[in-house]
Structures are given as structure tokens and as C-alpha cells.
Amino acid sequence: MSRQVCSLIAVQAEFDATWPFAADHWRSRWQEEGPTRFVRLVRDDRRTLGEALGEDVSGAGKETCEVTRAAVLGVPVTPGCLDALPNLREAVILDPYHPALSPEVEARLAARGVELYRQQSEGFWGQSVAEFALALTLCALRGIPQQHRAMLESHEVWRRYGAARNRGPGQRGAQFSDDVRFTHGTLAGKRVRVVGVGNIGSRYASFAHCLGAEVAAWDPYAPEPSFHRAGARRVWRLEELVQDAEIFAPMLPLTEQTRGLVTAQHIDDLPKGCLVVLATRAGICDMAALRRRVLADEVALAADVFDVEPLPLDDPLLGRENVVHTPHLAGRTRDANIAWAEVLLAQFRRDPAAGG
């Protein structure tokens, strides 16, 4: 029987639970290029790749298929599994967030000249998180979630913002519902201050700039072009960035270097009425200080991430007029799933039969 070159995708259900669209998108892309074997293990199925290949293969026939490239997503790989893939030339072997290789497996693959590909950054969800942060910002500026909730409770909200209820200049009036104690109204013209101009921060800064905000950013590691692309003026000291912020958006990943980077002093130096936007990780801020100022109605908060997750139902941040909150959803879109896969797909050769 003639033997056929093909690709292999093996995915475990726990991986699907984290990236529910990635594997199927990967399959559709490789099927366009040639025969593709696809293995999907159900939840709690802990078989290794070698065991799964021997028992549960769909797609091209296993007897006639020589696998030259593979995407192994959450399925355990042991040194013995490699014996079932003698023609392998390229591979991705990942858990949902990290490479999933033992040193022995990695060494054997390297000795065979197999190229291993990895995510080079977390840019795959940069757009999703940045757009979500923008949505949080706009919702907080206009109190949109609060008005939505009020409409479900009574018709009072329709009368509350009528001209008849106006109590004088500078007060609520016809169709004016903004909370004047905090940064409100349009994003245009606001002083937006961003910490970090990486995959997420640079996008958020550029969105704010495009909508007419005056944007400044601090990032000691970013090259100068990052600030230009973001439409942000570079500020060289974090303590200066907070001084005049109307909207303050820390947009960094949480690492040992960034944990607590925005200190209590920085939080205390934010002008009264400032809107703080949290969409990456809460731990980059001194959350005790931020909570203190939010609960004192000194600053507003629009947050998708918190110091405690899930937030207890009696947490004092929930339901406040100066807080917009969502349950850590920003990064997860179908688009981010596809981008996650595409970044890895781009590293493979187009022709699975191409030589190494």
C-alpha cells in the first residue's frame, strides 16, 4: 500500500476548554493543504500521544500516513511516543499556555532535527483585551451598565434625567446622566495615561488617540517607535504619569518585576475623580490603596480583573455607582483563538512534504 505524507493534530479536552476554537481552526487550515489526521481526547482521557495514535485516529489512514508535522495540544508526549512518528520534522507541543515537553523529549527531538515552534509573545489576545478595555472605559464614562440595570428595575430612570428634574446649572438635566464627580463624557479631549505600550497597552493607547484623547505613556523597556505607533507622548517617570491623569490604565502582564509596580503612592497621587481601567492583571497595582480610594468615592474603577477572583458577592466593589465590573473576560474571543493558532501556523512550512 502506498504511503502518504500528512499532518497530525492531537488535542485534549482540557486544552479545548481553554481554547475552544483553536484546534478546529488549525484542522481546517491544514486540511486545505493536504491529508490531516485528527485525534480529540475527551475530558479525563489521559492517554499519551502514542497510545492515542494507536487507538483513536480519524482522517487519513494510519497505515498509509507518514506524519511530517504535528500540533500536539494538551496531550502528554513521552519519549516512547516519538517512535510512532519517525518522519516528524516540525512540531508544536503545548499545554494551553506553555510548552509541554520534558527535557528528555525535547533532547530527542533536537537530536532528530525536529523543529519546535512556540508562541513568541501574547500578542494573540492583544486586540481582544485592548478593545475590551476601551469598552470598559466608554461604559464608565457614561455609566452605561448602571443605566441598563436601572431600566430593569423601574421607569424612574426615564424621569430622573428629564429637564423637569434639573436642580440648576451643572446638575443632571435632559438626557444628561453622567456622574460629574468622576471623569465623564467623551473620551475625546481626556488626558489618558497608560502604563506599558506592549501588545495591549499600545493598542489601547492608539484607540484612545484615534478618538481624540491626549495620550501619554510610560514604559522603560519599549523602543521609541512603540510610542509613535500608539499615538502616545512618552513620559520618563511613572510618578509624573499619574499626576494629571483623567483616565489611568495600567496595561502590563503580571510578572515578578511588575507585581505591585503601581504603588500606593502612585494611587494616592491620582487626581480626585480619575477613572482607573484594569484589564490585564490587578496585581500590578496596590489594590488595597485602589480599593480605599474607590470606596471613598475619590476615583472611579472600570475593571475586568481583581485582587480576588471570583469576587465574593458581598464585595463592596460590586454594584457601586463608580465601578464598572466584568468577570475576567477580556482576552477570550473566537478571534483570539484563531490568532493563537495562526501565530503558530505561520511558523510551519506550507508543504508538509518539504524537507527539513
**pLDDT tens string 82-91:** 999 999 999 9
198 domain-assigned: yes
Q: Does residue 47 belong to any structural domain of this protein?
A: yes
227 shares a domain with 129: yes
36 lies in some domain:
yes
Is there a contact between 329 and 8 (Cβ–Cβ < 8 Å)? no
pLDDT at 162: 81
Same domain for 205 and 315, yes or no, is yes
Instruction: Supply the DSSP string of 180-219, one letter for each residue.
Output: TTSS-S-STT-EEEEE--STTHHHHHHHHHHTT-EEEEE-
108 and 21 assigned to the same domain: yes
183 and 114 within one domain: no
Whether 248 is in a domain gets the answer yes
Looking at the fold, whether 131 and 272 belong to one and the same domain comes out as: yes
Do 196 and 270 lie in one domain? The reply is yes
Q: Are residues 78 and 186 in the same domain?
A: no
Residue 356 has pLDDT above 60, yes or no: no
CATH number of the domain enclosing 210: 3.40.50.720
Q: What is the structure's pLDDT at 2? A: 52
Residue 151 lies in a domain: no
* pLDDT for residue 1 is more than 70: no
Confirm whether 352 is domain-assigned: no
218: pLDDT strictly greater than 90? yes
Domain count, the chain: 2
Residues 93 and 74 in one domain: yes
Tell which residue, 246, 222, 243, has the closest CA to residue 234. Answer: 222
Q: What is the pLDDT of residue 176?
A: 86
Give the full edge-to-edge strand order of the sheet including 214-218: 233-234, 214-218, 191-195, 247-250, 275-278, 300-303, 323-325
- For 180-199, the pLDDT digits (tens) are 999 999 999 999 999 999 99
Same domain, 90 and 224: no
The verdict on 26 and 79 lying in the same domain is yes
Whether 124 and 340 have beta carbons less than 8 Å apart is answered as yes
Give the DSSP letter string of 116-164: E----SSGGGHHHHHHHHHHHHHHHHHTHHHHHHHHHH-THHHHHTSGG
Q: Does 105 map to a domain?
A: yes
* pLDDT greater than 90 at residue 289: yes
For residues 3 and 142, the model is more confident at 142
Domain interval for residue 208? 125-143+178-325
CATH code assigned at 36 = 3.40.50
- The answer to whether residue 163 sits within a structural domain is no
Residue 62's pLDDT band (boundaries 50, 70, 90)? Answer: very low
